[in-house]
Structure 1
Amino acid sequence: MATIAFIGTGVMGRSMAGHLLAAGHTLHVHNRTPAKAQPLLDAGARWHATPGAAAAAADFVFTIVGFPQDVEATYFGPAGVIAAAKPGTVLVDMTTSSPGLARRIAGAAAAQGLVALDAPVTGGDVGAREARLSIMVGGDEAAFEKTRPLFEKMGKIVIRHGGPGAGQLCKLANQISIASVMMSWCEALTFARRAGLDPARVLESIGSGAAGSVAMSVLAPRALKGDFAPGFYVKHFLKDLRLALDTAAELKLDLPGTRQAQQLYDEVARRGGNDDGTQALFRLYAERG
């Protein structure tokens, strides 16, 4: 059994940490909003007031926070992880963040006798609850193998893609793909509604064929019911799209579909949808129509 610190117990992290706790591991937790950690504390986790205090108690440190600036503060702040963790600790950032920041964390960790992995996930709130996330990992291979049994408590697909930053690059590829998928089902169902069809019945007809996707099968039914509660926040998806476009620019690569998705989600955010789920894009199409 491992001693684990888990920092970030929001929509995703609370379920992910819960699987580790349920497996019998000792869990130390920190979250900016203590109330969001309460279910884990009720189940036996131990609370710490700072990321560093949680990290100091653990052999593995997992983080999943909101934005790259949150990652930076968590790792490099005065009460941060790198300054407090014991030599030999494995640090695992599961936030979708900058590949460059992942490489910087790995370098700073190594200088302190630590090892860092970047391991963003996909699968949304349902995948987190059901422990069937896809986990994309970058970093040292030996540290990856050491951490694999813990990854496998949270996800079904666990793949190392290369050195530091490689997990983040894979996750950005995932978000690039999702960006166009989200536009596609929103446009298809908006078209169906305007043409006089019942979009729910159209979804039933096309959702299991070549047009189908997880986004269509999970998010489209929510949108049709007017349920825009976040499984994955618009504000976080916008962050991911910006990271993808910035990285694409460094690679001298044009991604027109991703640029269009960013413009549409920027409008969702301007209309007050930052804290809605990504399926709120469908509402934008309806309001425009």
Structure 2
Amino acid sequence: MAMEAATTSVGFIGIGVMGKSMARHLKQAGYPLHVYTRTAASAQELVDEGATWHETPGALAAACHVIITMVGYPKDVEDVYLGSNGIIAKAAAGTYLIDMTTSSPQLAQRIAEEAASKGLHALDAPVSGGDVGAREARLSIMVGGEQADFEAVKPLLDKMGTNIVLQGGPGAGQHTKMCNQIAIASGMLGVCEALAYAKFAGLDAEVVLQSIATGAAGSWSLSNLGPRMIKGDFEPGFYVKHFIKDMGIALESAKAMGLNTPGLALAESVYQQLAQEGYDNKGTQVLYHYFTAQ
């Protein structure tokens, strides 16, 4: 089907830090927007802008040509797609399903199989770029699914991101996101240790950033989260609790493949300690506190 904005109703499930911006971009592009959240109040801002709120995922699914999900955990993904009043049970044949949650590659494959048996088109399309990338519609979107399905929904993905790549069949998007999270996990250790070293050495950390952020040590985390760390701004662009979830999926998948990931394991253990200390609802840059509070 042609994804013309005026005639393609889009459902969005999961209006969180990133989901709200992503859904808003679709609404502003002219797509009739339908939303579901566990509490109506969390979707009120989008409803005030013209979106339609539904009481269940199934009710939303029945009203939409394309359904996008951006929820918290694999269990949430499983419930919203495979539950008795979920998306696959209620969506009409031909509907496109795009899960943008970072979730299990194996679950993505299962959803794709269940969807295909009902004449639905499922893709896994996790993202990277954080709250800023979502707000500015420049997310990196890693897609798993069939080529024809990818091409059909790409006009919608283009409204939310700028680096959109089909990685392979079902589950390939999630596997790619695990590569992304593994790189970030070990990288965050290095960024936080470096800035903590600058502090302990009596340097001006902002001036240090001017020198190292554009050299061989440069990274997205250093440039975007480094300034937040220095200011003591630990509010979430991406929650610690969700990063722990992602690292757990990556560790489990790596183990199943026989791959040893010591850097990932170390990062996960440190973040677990931060969560136990009450920082699970802070942004991932709170890792800096772990080093500087010593």
TM over 0.5: yes
- Tell me the CA shift for residue 6 of structure 1: 0.5
Aligned residues: 288
Deviation at 1:207, TM superposition (A): 1.2
Look up the match of 2:134.
Answer: 128
Q: Secondary structure at the match of 2:159?
A: helix
Q: Find the counterpart in structure 1 of residue 40 from structure 2.
A: 34
Instruction: State the alpha-carbon separation in 2 of the partners of residues 110 and 262 from structure 1.
Output: 35
- Secondary structure, in 3 states, of the residue corresponding to 2:254? helix
Q: Which runs of 4+ in 1 moved over 4 A?
A: none
> What are the residue-to-residue correspondences of 1:234-249 with 2, within 5 Å?
234-249=240-255
Letter in 2 for 1:260: L
Question: SS of the residue aligned with 2:143?
Answer: strand
Distance 2:202 2:67 in 1: 53
The aligned residue for residue 214 of structure 2 is: 208
Q: Give, as a single letter, the amino acid of the residue that structure 1 aligns with 2:242.
A: H
CA displacement at 1:78 relative to structure 2 = 2.4
CA distance in 1, matches of 2:211, 2:164: 33
Post-superposition CA distance 1:170-205 (Å, at most 9, x none): 000000000111111100011111112122221122
Aligned match of 1:195 in 185, 192, 201? 201
Aligned partners of 1:59 and 1:161: how far apart in 2?
A: 24
Equivalent in the alignment of 1:112: 118
Task: Return the letter of the residue paired with 2:49.
Answer: A
Q: Deviations over 1:21-73 (max 9, x none)?
A: 00000111001132221121111110100111111100100000000000011
1:1-289 maps to which residues of 2 (within 5 A)? 1=5, 2-288=8-294
- More moved, 33-42 vs 260-269: 33-42
**What amino acid is aligned across from residue 73 of structure 2 in structure 1?**
F
Q: What secondary structure does 2:133 align onto?
A: helix
After superposition, the C-alpha distances for 1:153-173 in whole angstroms (9 at most, x for unaligned) are 000011001110000000000
Structure 2: how far apart are the matches of 1:47 and 1:254?
A: 45
Aligned-pair CA distance for 1:274: 0.4
Matched letter for residue 84 of structure 1: K
CA distance in 2, matches of 1:173, 1:36: 31
Tell me, in whole angstroms, the C-alpha distance in 1 between the residues paired with 2:155 and 2:52: 22
Alpha-carbon distance between aligned partners in 2 of 1:239 and 1:205, rounded to the nearest angstrom: 34
Tell me by how many angstroms 1:226 deviates. Answer: 1.1
Note the C-alpha offset of 1:249.
0.4
* Sequence identity (%): 57
Gap runs ≥5 in structure 1: none
Paired residue secondary structure (2:158) = helix
